[in-house]
């Protein structure tokens, strides 16, 4: 067969359709008519208003105040292909979840639009009227009901109706078929009566393209359209939405506590699984699996890939392969968090002895890290700077390293900007904000994040560590292969910091007693 014949045969069925060759779905009119008949009517319910609805409305009002006269477009994002015709579990973009209150996996392709109105006449006295555009449940008399494996109820279960979402969220809804007009109508330069758009970019490529096309088609001089300038203006929206999450409201704090409680239970599950992990070729996977089961039982998912690192793997900061053995006498570093159904996540780390008892040198390193964590906690007071936590914690670590004879310079020189030699064994930051993203508020300006003032309502981690690699010849052999990190989730209140994850033991002797108690209960 020559190339022309091959091309002709290939053209008989488009490439994008071949992914469905396995399905063997009937296409006869008789089948379609039969599939559309004799279904019980969908239950007609008016759900109660979600507890998050008023909080989400307040967030929309806050962002509205920053962008008067501008149309704001916040996509949830599309489904993402995992392999061929299978998708990852859907998770909406965090900015979309924050402004709508929607979590879980039922709104792929949805878009929230804040439409500008006369200042002060919008929702809750704001500058915009909000509407949620999404694809609702297809009727059981439609072909989509049984034929669409991505959105048909026959395949994935029921989807909320427009009316249900509106009742739950107190947010006007519209069919996604109306989305293109809603985004592109009257787009243009404000000086000629048009409406400017700000978009959360790189969430949904189709929405990016739609906005870019609208801007191009309405530009005075499209050939010289400054795309970099428009991207920078879009980034202002992402920045503002990120900064809006720096302070958590009462509902968010409750969700964080829920995520932390489930995570604490997951750590206990891991201890119960340790005897099997010690006998398994890939003991780290046993640990990972034990925690994952808890995350799916009590939450939506993992908040991030679990780090289950034993022995020298604990010195690899982002070890997520989790394919190593767990040996008695080694330490196990477990960095894990349950994501609640609201999508708020915990982020906790404990380093535990695999056999239940710390060796002398392990305890020495562990206690140094715990002292550093306590110093960071003491520094985390209302009015202090976010960076003060890191400075306090790493100073303690530098002092311990000097006491052990590991620092090549004095503590003062090491902690100076020109030094930093102690960072060889503690290379990461000590804190980050926590919330809908495990590294929340990441687009916030430096002066509001690293140089920001610790304020009531902030939730962040404190997580110092020491990592002594097997291959590190700058240290005595007794330290090599030991990695320790202790991480807690902290809520800042008007009276000072509160450790949300304090239910997990932190002192070495308490860790040993906690593990022993779990083993006794199991017996």
Task: Note the pLDDT tens digit of each residue in 458-492.
Answer: 999 999 999 999 999 999 999 999 999 999 999 99
Task: Note the pLDDT tens digit of each residue in 285-315.
Answer: 999 999 999 999 999 999 999 999 999 999 9
Tokens of 263: 């995570």
Task: Note the pLDDT tens digit of each residue in 487-507.
Answer: 999 999 999 999 999 999 999
Q: Is 16 a residue whose pLDDT tops 80?
A: no
- Report pLDDT for 520: 83
pTM: 0.94
CATH class for domain 250-522? alpha beta
Q: Is 10 a residue whose pLDDT tops 60?
A: no
Q: Can you give the residue ranges of every domain in the chain?
A: 53-244, 250-522
Average pLDDT in the 338-367 region?
Answer: 98
Lowest mean pLDDT among 51-60, 130-139, 415-424, 435-444: 130-139
Count of CB atoms within 10 A of residue 149's CB? 15
pLDDT grade for 6, boundaries at 50, 70 and 90: low
Residue 252 near residue 52, CB atoms below 8 Å: no
Lowest mean pLDDT among 85-94, 293-302, 308-317, 364-373: 85-94
From the number of C-beta atoms within 10 Å of its C-beta (0-12, 13-18, 19+), residue 126 rates as buried
CATH, domain 53-244, list 3.50.50.60, 3.40.350.10, 1.20.1250.20, 3.40.50.300: 3.40.350.10
pLDDT grade for 161, boundaries at 50, 70 and 90: confident
- Report pLDDT for 495: 96
Q: Is 41 a residue whose pLDDT tops 70?
A: yes
Name which of 149, 151, 64 is nearest 113 in CA terms: 64
Spatial strand order in the sheet of 459-462: 459-462, 488-493, 496-499
Lowest mean pLDDT among 77-81, 100-104, 133-137, 189-193: 189-193
Q: Where are the beta strands (DSSP E) in 94-182?
A: 111-116, 128-134, 173-175
What's the start-to-end Cα distance of the chain, in Å? 70
Per the model's pLDDT, the better-predicted residue between 295 and 159 turns out to be 295
- Report pLDDT for 103: 86
pLDDT grade for 26, boundaries at 50, 70 and 90: confident
* Helices then strands, each counted (H, E), the chain: 16, 17
Average pLDDT in the 93-121 region?
Answer: 93
- Report pLDDT for 455: 98
- Report pLDDT for 144: 84
Average pLDDT in the 351-366 region?
Answer: 98
pLDDT grade for 523, boundaries at 50, 70 and 90: low
Mean pLDDT of the chain: 93
- Report pLDDT for 346: 98
Average pLDDT in the 17-23 region?
Answer: 72
Task: Note the pLDDT tens digit of each residue in 406-417.
Answer: 999 999 999 999
């Amino acid at each position: 067969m020559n190339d022309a014949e091959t091309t002709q045969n290939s053209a008989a069925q488009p490439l994008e359709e071949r992914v469905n060759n396995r399905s063997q779905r009937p296409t006869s009119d008789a089948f379609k008519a039969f599939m559309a008949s004799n279904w019980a009517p969908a239950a007609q319910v008016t759900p109660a208003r979600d507890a998050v609805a008023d909080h989400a409305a307040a967030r929309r009002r806050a962002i509205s105040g920053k962008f008067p006269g501008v149309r704001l477009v916040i996509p949830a994002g599309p489904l993402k292909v995992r392999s061929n015709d299978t998708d990852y579990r859907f998770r909406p973009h965090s900015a979309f979840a924050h402004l709508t209150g929607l979590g879980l996996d039922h709104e792929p392709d949805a878009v929230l639009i804040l439409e500008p109105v006369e200042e002060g006449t919008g929702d809750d006295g704001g500058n915009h009227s909000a509407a949620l555009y999404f694809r609702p449940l297809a009727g059981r008399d439609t072909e989509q009901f049984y034929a669409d494996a991505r959105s048909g109820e026959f395949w994935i279960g029921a989807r909320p109706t427009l009316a249900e979402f509106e009742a739950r969220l107190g947010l006007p809804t519209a069919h996604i078929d109306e989305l293109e007009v809603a985004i592109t109508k009257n787009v243009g330069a404000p000086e000629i009566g048009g409406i400017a758009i700000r978009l959360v970019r790189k969430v949904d490529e189709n929405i990016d393209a739609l906005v870019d096309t609208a801007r191009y088609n309405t530009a005075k001089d499209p050939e010289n359209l400054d795309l970099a300038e428009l991207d920078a203006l879009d980034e202002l929206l992402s920045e503002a939405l990120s900064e809006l999450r720096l302070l958590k409201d009462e509902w968010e704090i409750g969700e964080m506590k829920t995520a932390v409680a489930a995570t604490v239970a997951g750590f206990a599950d891991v201890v119960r699984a340790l005897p099997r992990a010690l006998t398994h070729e890939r003991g780290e996977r046993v640990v990972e699996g034990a925690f994952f089961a808890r995350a799916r039982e009590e939450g939506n998912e993992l908040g991030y890939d679990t780090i289950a690192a034993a022995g020298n793997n604990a010195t690899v900061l982002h070890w997520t392969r989790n394919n190593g053995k767990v040996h008695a006498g080694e330490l196990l570093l477990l960095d894990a968090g349950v994501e609640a159904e609201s999508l708020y996540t915990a982020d906790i780390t404990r380093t535990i002895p695999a056999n239940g008892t710390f060796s002398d040198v392990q305890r020495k390193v562990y206690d140094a890290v715990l002292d550093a964590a306590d110093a960071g906690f003491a520094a985390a007071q209302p009015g202090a700077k976010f960076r003060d936590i890191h400075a306090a914690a790493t100073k303690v670590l530098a002092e311990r390293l000097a006491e052990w004879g590991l620092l090549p310079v004095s503590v003062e020189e090491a902690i100076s900007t020109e030094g930093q030699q102690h960072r060889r064994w503690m290379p990461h930051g000590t804190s980050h904000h926590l919330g809908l993203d495990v590294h929340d508020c990441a687009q916030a300006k430096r002066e509001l994040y690293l140089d920001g003032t610790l304020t009531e309502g902030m939730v962040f981690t404190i997580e110092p560590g020491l990592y002594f690699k097997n291959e590190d010849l700058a240290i005595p052999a007794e330290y090599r292969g030991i990695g320790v990190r202790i991480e807690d989730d902290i809520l800042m209140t008007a009276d000072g910091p509160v450790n949300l994850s304090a239910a997990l033991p932190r002192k070495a002797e308490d860790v040993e007693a906690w593990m022993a108690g779990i083993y006794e209960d199991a017996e």
